[in-house]
């Protein structure tokens, strides 16, 4: 079955630490990849997306993600996290349609 | 520009009742999608509408239905409510119905509790 997998359920970091969240998908063919973030008490919002071109994409707030087609992966990274990055992060995919298929989400807690 | 709005924000219903949730997309957006978010199942796609037509449907029973009006506003309806329907229902809109990679803008959600 087609799916999106996020490797970590909960990540706890200290400020200034580097963050990497894993995401793998099992869809074949052309995919469009997204990372959404949900800050406490706020709406889901887009961090970044990939649909073609340079596989290293940069998003808002210093986040970036790398699409590795051979590994079916789209991992999210940030070199130095801040307390304000505490949130839930969702990887999502669309495949030739308009519906987002989400991973289970990763809760990131940044300790000051 | 105003964001996606959803009403009501909170609802409490009892089993067997039906409920209608409303979503107003961002002005100019023509695609509206609905998602269910629960702790156990995460975010799951319900359906997507574009120009008053349902284009995509997720794996939910027929008790879940929706529609879109000519002004792009959308409603979803759940009939014969079950305890398992308790969830946060999210609406998202997108400005262009042609590209699969367009950003979807999410609303705050409607928290439905079924007793």
Q: For the segment A19-40, what is each residue's pLDDT rounded down to a tens digit?
A: 999 999 998 778 899 999 999 9
Q: SS3 of A30, please?
A: coil
Name the residue with tokens 């997108």: B94
Q: Give residue-wise pLDDT tens across range B61-78.
A: 999 999 999 999 999 999
Q: Which of A54-68, B38-52, B94-108 has the lowest mean pLDDT?
A: B94-108
Task: State whether residue A49 sits within 8 Å of chain B by CB.
Answer: yes
Residue B114 to residue B13: CA distance in whole angstroms: 5
Cα→Cα distances B91→A12, A60, B97, Å: 30, 22, 15
* CA distance, residue A90 to nearest chain B CA (Å): 9
Which of B36, B94, B100 has the most A C-beta neighbours within 10 Å, making it the best mutation to test the interface with A? B100
Residue B32 to residue B47: CA distance in whole angstroms: 8
Task: Give the model's pLDDT for residue A1.
Answer: 60
């Amino acid at each position: 079955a087609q799916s999106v997998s996020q490797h970590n359920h909960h990540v706890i970091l200290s400020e200034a630490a580097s963050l990497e969240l894993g995401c793998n998908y099992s869809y074949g063919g052309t995919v469009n990849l997204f990372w959404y973030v949900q800050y406490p008490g706020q709406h889901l919002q887009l961090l970044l997306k990939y649909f073609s071109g340079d596989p290293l994409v940069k998003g808002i707030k210093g986040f970036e993600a790398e699409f590795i087609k051979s590994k079916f992966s789209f991992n999210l990274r940030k070199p130095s996290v801040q307390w304000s990055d505490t949130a839930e992060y969702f990887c999502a995919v669309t495949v030739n349609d308009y519906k987002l298929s989400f991973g289970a989400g990763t809760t990131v807690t940044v300790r000051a | 520009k105003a964001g996606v709005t959803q009403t009501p924000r909170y609802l409490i219903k009892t089993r067997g009742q039906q409920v209608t949730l409303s979503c107003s997309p961002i002005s100019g957006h023509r695609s509206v999608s609905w998602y269910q978010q629960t702790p156990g199942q995460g975010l799951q796609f319900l359906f997507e509408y574009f120009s008053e037509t349902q284009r995509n449907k997720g794996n939910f029973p027929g008790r879940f239905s929706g529609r879109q009006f000519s002004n792009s506003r959308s409603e979803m309806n759940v009939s014969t409510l079950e305890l398992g329907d308790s969830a946060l229902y999210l609406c998202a809109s997108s400005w262009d119905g042609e590209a699969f990679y367009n950003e979807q803008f999410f609303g705050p959600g409607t928290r439905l509790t079924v007793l």
